[in-house]
Amino acid sequence: MLIETPQIDLKSFEHACINVINNKYWFHETSAEGFPGQAFALEIEKILYHIHSQYQDILVFKSSTFGNVLVLNGIIQCTERDEFAYQELITHLPIMCHAKPRKVLVIGGGDCGVVRELIKHLDEGVDEITMVEIDDMVIKLLAKFLPGMAKFHNHPRVNIIIDDGFKYLKSLSTQTHDKYDVIITDSSDPEGPAEDFFQTNYFKLLSNALNPDGIVIMQSSENIWLNINYLKQLMQKAKQVFANVAYSQCYMPSYTSGQLGLIVATNDTSNVLNIPTRTFSADKELELFKYYSSSVHQASFVLPTWANKTLNHN
């Protein structure tokens, strides 16, 4: 399917998240459950695309300050300005924590940003990359409107499967298959098609699909400033399945409150997750990364005292 750029009149376009304030058009991200009492807004220059796919409401717009923006079900997923921060940290934390991350599975990640980052490790430890995304419309739209993220969506060494990630993992539990070294869960927030990704049973499926020293990482949907009690519950679910669980945070100005949390887990108790197992030279880090470094890796696990007490102490 070829995505053509439609001509959408912003003045006549209607969407629940778009409001007019002082003759300017604003996208407002609000959530009564996720972050009650606050919102995040971006000024809109142009609506690039809007569709109700089989699974979700998809909006792409050009903002005045953050470039092109992808929105799923009213929640910002990525912007051209700051996407690299999240994509780099969720990818390189587990990859650099694993001595031989040969086989990698990405659940979700339709924007293909994680795939772009994994490509940097091909033949540098990573040999196989598989991505399972439920909504191929997201891939097609990102290839059109955020090509800097999706530039490797058709890479010959990336196996993209259009399927429900949860069902895909369930199918692995009934098959004899090679286990994964790293699984990256890059899902949207826990509503709609991603709701199952935040339950204890999902962690069990992840553990089943991993090698004994395998590592999984997932976006936590919350950070310490929004709903730390929900975050604590999510980490407790992970700890019911994995022996070694840690919480990392990423600075993301386009996410409500400016941060996003990542939960990293493994059953390898000898792996000190906040210290990278493998490192690159400073020159190579500058060549490969805009956000990640071995120092950022370690610093991302450092929490304020009250948050550390809530999440890491019974």
Pull the structure tokens for residue 279.
Answer: 């490192």
200-209 vs 228-239: helix axis angle to the nearest 10? 40
How far apart CA 121 and CA 97 sit, in angstroms, is 13
How far apart CA 254 and CA 257 sit, in angstroms, is 8
3-state class of 313 per DSSP?
Answer: coil
DSSP 126: B
178 is catalytic: no
Pull the structure tokens for residue 188.
Answer: 């949207």
Pull the structure tokens for residue 58.
Answer: 């998809």
Active-site residue, selected from the candidate residues 186, 189, 213, 268: 186
Here the contacts of 12-17 (C-beta below 8 Å, separation 24 or greater) are 13/47, 13/50, 15/50, 15/59, 16/74, 17/59, 17/71, 17/74
Which of the residues are catalytic? 186
